[in-house]
Amino acid sequence: MSFLPFDQFDRLILAELQQDGRIKNQLLADRVGLSPAACWRRVKALEEQGVIRKYTALLDPQALDQGLCVLVTVTLLRHSADAGREFEEAIVQFPEVLQCYAVTGNSDYLLRIVVPDMATYDRFLNQKLFSMPGISQVHSNFALREVKNETSMPMQRAMSSVSG
């Protein structure tokens, strides 16, 4: 997908929306220095281009009894397009898997899984992950504490390169 070049106003809009996706257009326009109509057009264009993929609420995993975060590496038996596609089609069906990345290195995939507790993770492994064909190895790493978890893309660096 090709994106149009962003100017300073687009970057300011994106930075503001990452901090508050529910901001009113008038306030957003005031903060970025545009008229409300121009600001609205730019936001719509960013949405239509797919730069803004969706708006969401960030939830506290502890409050929802989903406090166990597991980072899992998965190695496939075969390295082929079909094996990877089969794994990916299956893994996106599991709501416990919040993120899945195809990676380089000692494994083929990195998953971030959240569940309430160890017993639930054990069931996930045995009933879902281990029952998938084509998996060679699974390594689980349990998060002790969250040090940093940002959802905002770094816009400051991008803005400084435009204004410099």
Looking at residue 80, its pLDDT comes to: 87
Please tell me the class of the 8-57 domain: mainly alpha
Contacts of 97 (CB under 8 A, 6+ apart): 91, 111, 112, 113
Distances in Å between the Cα of 150 and the Cα atoms of 22, 109, 115 are: 18, 21, 20
- When pLDDT is cut at 50, 70 and 90, the band that residue 5 belongs to is confident
Looking at residue 138, its pLDDT comes to: 97
Helix/strand/coil for 73: strand
Q: What is the mean pLDDT of residues 66-85?
A: 94
Which has the minimum average pLDDT: 2-6, 26-30, 99-103, 111-115? 2-6
Q: What is the mean pLDDT of residues 129-157?
A: 92
Looking at residue 156, its pLDDT comes to: 63
Please tell me the class of the 68-142 domain: alpha beta
Average pLDDT across the chain, whole number: 92
Percent pLDDT > 70 in the chain is 92
Provide the sign of the torsion angle of the four alpha carbons 61, 105, 90, 85, taken in this order. positive
pLDDT tens figures, 142-151: 999 999 999 9
Name the residue ranges covered by the structural domains of the chain: 8-57, 68-142
Tokens 């990916």 found at: 88
Looking at residue 63, its pLDDT comes to: 96
List beta partners, residue 34. Answer: none
122 vs 99: CA distance, rounded Å: 19
